[in-house]
A and B are shown apart, each in its own frame.
Chain A
Amino acid sequence: DAEITQSPRHKITETGRQVTLACHQTWNHNNMFWYRQDLGHGLRLIHYSYGVQDTNKGEVSDGYSVSRSNTEDLPLTLESAASSQTSVYFCASSSLAGGTDTQYFGPGTRLTVL
């Protein structure tokens, strides 16, 4: 069955370190998204991609970067981790560019920055 996976599921790091969170989907979807989930804010969009070599900034992109070298993967990099980036991170994917399509979510990565 097609799926979307994230790794690691839990990560503890220190302030100032570079961290990369992996996202891999086997749906063959063109669209991929990264969100962060914080209490009281729901999910907020960090970066998104509509295809290979395409990346775009979302609402809360400062301090994060992504690259899309193939259809299946969209890794999220925290350039220099800060305590404010402690959060739960979700990756999602969808197949169509239109606004009606369902996004499929990964299980999440809980990141703690000390």
Chain B
Amino acid sequence: GDSVTQMEGPVTLSEEAFLTINCTYTATGYPSLFWYVQYPGEGLQLLLKATKADDKGSNKGFEATYRKETTSFHLEKGSVQVSDSAVYFCALSSRGGYNKLIFGAGTRLAVHP
């Protein structure tokens, strides 16, 4: 079945460092791909998404490119801030899957001043 694999955390960075969180997926067909973020004590909120191969999703300085050839959707940010500390989830929604999301295990990011 469909699945999502994320790099294990926690990831600890200093402020202004470069961030990469790896995400790979297994799916039949052409899924839509998402990154959700969960701040402490809150629910998940959409960070960015891409719906077809080579699409780049971007928001708040974060970017991710849908790479069909490597079945990847890695999250990147050029300069992280303390306020980016959160748990990041990669997810997919299969075509014809009626918007059901399959999540990765999540990666906790801690950014220190």
Interface residues of A (CB under 8 A from B): 31, 33, 35, 40-45, 48, 50, 58, 90, 92, 94, 96-108
Contacts and interface: CB of A to CB of B under 8 A. Distances in A.
B99 A94 contact: yes
Given A102-B34, A103-B101, A105-B43, 4 more contacts: A33-B101, A35-B103, A100-B49, A104-B45
Interface string B26-70: 000001101010000111111001010000000000000000000
Contact of A42 (B31, B32, B104): B104
B107 to A, nearest CB: 10
Contacts of B113: none
Interface of B: 4, 6, 31-32, 34, 36, 41-46, 49, 51, 89, 93-106
Contact of B98 (A42, A90, A97, A108): A97
Contacts of B31: 99
21 contacts: A31-B98, A33-B100, A42-B103, A42-B106, A43-B89, A43-B103, A44-B103, A45-B100, A45-B101, A48-B100, A90-B43, A90-B44, A94-B99, A97-B99, A99-B51, A99-B93, A99-B96, A103-B46, A104-B45, A105-B45, A108-B42
Contacts of B34: 102
Specify which of A43, A45, A96, A106 lies most central, judged by the most chain B CB atoms within 10 Å of its CB. Answer: A43
B56 to A, nearest CB: 15
Contacts of A40: 105
